[in-house]
Amino acid sequence: MLRRTMLQLLGGGAAALATRTAAWAAATPGARSEDEFFIFIHAAGGWDVTLWADPRHERVGLIEPASTDNTEIAGLARWTSVALDGDTETFAPLASSDSKLVLGPGIGALYDLRDRLTIINGLAMNTVSHPDGTVYSATGRHLAGGRAPASSVDVAIANERGTGQMLPAVAIQFPSSFVGEALDRRSIPLRVASAATIAKSLSRSPAYLDSSDRAAITAVLSAETNALAARSVYPGTYERIASQLAAQPLLVGGELEKAFTQKALQDAYPMFDYKSKSQAAGALSAAFTAEAMRRNVVRSVGFALGGLDTHNQNYKQHARTLQDLFGVIATLQGVLDATPHPTRSASKLADHTHILVFSEFCRTPQINLAGGRDHYPNNSALVISPRFRGGVAFGKTDAEQLLPADAKTFADGARPIAPPDLLATFLHAFDIEPRRYLRDGEVVPELLR
Partner 1 sequence: MRAGALVLALAACGPAVIAPSATQPLPPHRELAVDTTPKQRPRMMPAEVYLRAYMMWFGGLAPLEVQARARGRQLFDAWDDYLAALGLPDYRIDLPRQTQSNTLMLAAFGRLGEALCVRAVEHDLHDARTPPDQRVVFAFEPIARPSEAQFDERFDVLHRGFLGYPAALAPADRAKRYYALFTQVAAHHPAKPKTPLTGEETAWAAVCAALIQHPETGLY
At its nearest, how many Å lie between partner 1 and the CB of residue 77? 29
In the complex with partner 1, the residue whose CB is nearer, 248 or 366, is 248
At its nearest, how many Å lie between partner 1 and the CB of residue 363? 18
At its nearest, how many Å lie between partner 1 and the CB of residue 394? 29
At its nearest, how many Å lie between partner 1 and the CB of residue 328? 18
Q: Is the dihedral of CA 16, 18, 20, 23 positive or negative?
A: negative
**How many angstroms from the chain centroid is the CA of residue 442?**
21
In the complex with partner 1, the residue whose CB is nearer, 167 or 438, is 167
In the complex with partner 1, the residue whose CB is nearer, 25 or 193, is 193
Distance between CA atoms of residues 92 and 449, nearest Å: 30
At its nearest, how many Å lie between partner 1 and the CB of residue 200? 5
In the complex with partner 1, the residue whose CB is nearer, 253 or 419, is 253
DSSP string covering 162-193? ITTSSEEEEEES-------SSS-GGGS-EEES
Beta strand segments in 149-256, E: 167-172, 190-192
At residue 20, φ and ψ (nearest 5 deg) are -60, -45
In the complex with partner 1, the residue whose CB is nearer, 213 or 431, is 213
At its nearest, how many Å lie between partner 1 and the CB of residue 313? 22
Number of C-beta neighbours around residue 324 at 10 A: 24
At its nearest, how many Å lie between partner 1 and the CB of residue 447? 29
At its nearest, how many Å lie between partner 1 and the CB of residue 413? 34
Strands 81-85 and 88-91: antiparallel
In the complex with partner 1, the residue whose CB is nearer, 27 or 242, is 242
At its nearest, how many Å lie between partner 1 and the CB of residue 259? 15
Q: At what angle are helices 195-202 and 280-294 packed, to 10 degrees?
A: 50
Residues of this chain that interact with partner 1 (CB under 8 A) are 130-131, 134, 147, 166-167, 173, 175, 178, 185, 188-194, 196-198, 200-210, 212-214, 216-217, 220-221, 223-225, 227-228, 231-234, 236-238, 240-241, 244-245, 247-248, 251-252, 304
Burial degree of 11 (CB within 10 A; 0-12, 13-18, 19+): middle
Distance between CA atoms of residues 236 and 232, nearest Å: 9
At residue 194, φ and ψ (nearest 5 deg) are -155, 150
Contact 301, 192 (CB under 8 A): no
Distance between CA atoms of residues 183 and 173, nearest Å: 22
Distances (CA, A) of 345 to 16, 26, 151, 339: 12, 16, 33, 11
Cα 135-278-301 angle, rounded to 5 deg: 45
Distance between CA atoms of residues 125 and 416, nearest Å: 10
303 Ramachandran zone, left/alpha/beta (phi>0; psi -120 to 50): beta
At its nearest, how many Å lie between partner 1 and the CB of residue 194? 8
Q: What is the DSSP letter of 140?
A: S
In the complex with partner 1, the residue whose CB is nearer, 15 or 234, is 234
In the complex with partner 1, the residue whose CB is nearer, 81 or 261, is 261
Rg (CA), the chain: 22
In the complex with partner 1, the residue whose CB is nearer, 65 or 140, is 140
In the complex with partner 1, the residue whose CB is nearer, 52 or 260, is 260
In the complex with partner 1, the residue whose CB is nearer, 212 or 345, is 212
